[in-house]
Amino acid sequence: MTQVLVTGGTGFIGSWCVLTLLDAGHTVRTTVRDLRREPALGSWLHAATPFDDDRLTVVRADLEHPDGWDAAVADCDFVLHVASPTLRHTPANDDELVVPAREGVLRVLRAARDARVRRVVLASAFGAIGIGHPPRSTPFTEEDWTNVDSDIPPYQRSKTLAERAAWQFVQDEGGGPELAAVHPVGVLGPLLGPVDPPSLRLVRRMLEGQVPACPPFGMGFVDVRDVADLHLRAMTDPAAAGERFLAIAGHSLRVVDIAHILHDRLGERAAKAPTRELPVWLARTLGIANPELRLLRHQLGRDLNATSAKAEKLLGWRARPIEDTIAQTAESLLTHGIGK
């Protein structure tokens, strides 16, 4: 029976990867930074799917520390490296995110090499592909890389440099594990438990009436269940070795489009969601004092589109309609008491 390590098993994407692997019959080991979260993860997963407890093991390992990684990877056939360092405050400098992300991925790859893991699938992001470029009319593809020499936010810089380090490691090692990378755009979808993932905060804040008007930009979105499915395909399909895969459902959406979908699907429960879009000039002006708008300064007035044609052609991957995902995201948030 195939054994798979998933790093960051209590995270939004990580927990869905664990669930998808269990549903597919794999034995899963997953890392958490705090073992006190193990009971909650187990209860979420058991509520979502039946499985024998002996097919899931939770171990402690932290990307910022070397301890625990050799034991976590031991006897695993594959690794899905989903965990990524996050901060609860604005970093004083980019290295607060860049260094842990880069060193963390190298710790996982070294442990995978020593354990003779067959393939590592890295959860990267659109932020490592489509940021720091001049405006363009064509969709971004896997051939693109974020321009780290431009003035970009720390998170996107960290994802880009961590992935660059991963590919360089595999190239230098030669006989080490194969590598594939998955690049989701904005990740939405239902929750497995009562958590508050950063990628769902836009929808949550819309439901709560905390967004008075929609920022003027568009980007791609994708369902977390489809992201987990793409990780599984990238893990098992021979064609995925050495490849990057974008994950997007259809095409980009303006933020105001999301608000309209919420109104159409949820009616009065989405009454607080804004239905007007800020003018670009006003959004830029407000960004001087608003840190959230300031982080979006490179996106304002633009539509950051991408294509999943490669994943569809090579791996047979398909994304569900994003309108359904947006509605199910909101329903899930409200069910868990988030966004009311």
Distance between CA atoms of 270 and 211, rounded to whole angstroms? 12
Six-digit token string for 143: 């051939």
Q: Are 154 and 295 in contact (CB under 8 A)?
A: no
3-state helix, strand, coil in the chain (%, to 5): 45, 15, 40
Exposed, middle or buried by CB within 10 Å (0-12, 13-18, 19+), for 274?
A: buried
Strands (E), the chain: 3-7, 27-32, 56-60, 78-81, 119-123, 178-184, 186-188, 218-219, 221-223, 244-247, 253-254, 303-304
Distance between CA atoms of 340 and 335, rounded to whole angstroms? 9
Residue type at position 245: F
Choosing from 159, 272, 313, 340, the catalytic residue is 159
Residue 159 catalytic? yes
Exposed, middle or buried by CB within 10 Å (0-12, 13-18, 19+), for 92?
A: exposed
Strand order in the sheet with 303-304: 253-254, 218-219, 303-304
Q: What is the dihedral of CA 124, 140, 290, 270, to 10 degrees?
A: -90
Distance between CA atoms of 146 and 149, rounded to whole angstroms? 9
Active site residues: 159
